[in-house]
């Protein structure tokens, strides 16, 4: 595999925006992301600049990791957010311990199945553990079976926490987590 896995730089916000827009056009984007393409495309450049700066190399609260192909094209990404104990998460639940939260996982369809997602997760987990988190979690739509199978394969397990989607009544997401003590 001839791909470079690395954190983004703040000045790469146009590329981060472009990959996000591609991800939001994926056929399962409605299950994988809480944002739509229309919402994202309408955001001003300042939003994308701030988002990239907050998750760029050297940031401690979040990190966006990308897979860069041999030709320089960004073909995959994920973001790890650090959630501090005593805070409240995006869904309004209390955060009981310092943890990482993986969001925005995407690999271009033509690059799936070659191990890139695993390598992105390895890098994201390595960064999260270095931040001193006790566990890393992610939230996955109850109907996104493909993603759930992958997360189980790499060691994440359902925690039993269900997050109802307020903007989509009747739909829920499930929390999966990997606890540091359980990592081999």
Is 136:128 a contact under the CB 8 Å cutoff?
Answer: yes
Is 35:79 a contact under the CB 8 Å cutoff?
Answer: no
Nearest Cα to Cα of residue 99 among 130, 54, 63, 132: 132
Q: What is the pLDDT of residue 1?
A: 64
Rounded distance, CA 58 to CA 159, Å? 31
Alpha helical stretches, state H, the chain: 13-23, 29-32, 37-41, 45-54, 116-130, 145-153
Alpha helical stretches, state H, 42-180: 45-54, 116-130, 145-153
Q: What is the pLDDT of residue 182?
A: 58
Terminus-to-terminus CA distance in the chain, angstroms? Answer: 24
Q: What is the pLDDT of residue 91?
A: 80
Token readout for 11 is 């000045």
Q: What is the pLDDT of residue 90?
A: 81
Is 158:176 a contact under the CB 8 Å cutoff?
Answer: yes
pLDDT along the chain (184 residues), means of 10: 93 98 93 92 97 96 96 96 92 90 95 95 97 95 92 96 83 92 59
Tell me the pTM. 0.93
Rounded distance, CA 139 to CA 160, Å? 11
Q: What's the chain's length in residues?
A: 184
Q: What is the pLDDT of residue 166?
A: 75
3-state secondary structure of 54: helix
Nearest Cα to Cα of residue 104 among 51, 43, 170: 51
């Amino acid at each position: 595999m001839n791909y470079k896995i690395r954190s983004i730089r703040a000045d790469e916000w146009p590329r981060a925006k472009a990959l996000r827009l591609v991800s939001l056009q994926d056929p399962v984007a409605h299950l994988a992301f809480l944002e739509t393409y229309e919402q994202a495309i309408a955001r001003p450049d300042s939003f994308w600049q701030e988002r990239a700066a907050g998750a760029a190399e050297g940031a401690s609260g979040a990190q966006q990791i990308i897979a860069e192909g041999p030709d320089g094209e960004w073909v995959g990404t994920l973001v790890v957010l650090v959630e501090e104990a005593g805070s409240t998460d995006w869904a309004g639940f209390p955060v009981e311990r310092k943890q990482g939260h993986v969001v925005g996982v995407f690999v271009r369809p033509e690059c799936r199945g070659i191990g890139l997602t695993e390598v992105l997760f390895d890098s994201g987990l390595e960064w999260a553990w270095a931040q001193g988190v006790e566990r890393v979690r992610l939230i996955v739509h109850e109907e996104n079976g493909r993603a759930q199978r992958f997360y189980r394969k790499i060691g994440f397990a359902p925690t039993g926490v269900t997050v109802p989607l307020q903007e989509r009544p009747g739909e829920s997401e499930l929390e999966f987590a990997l606890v540091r003590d359980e990592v081999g």
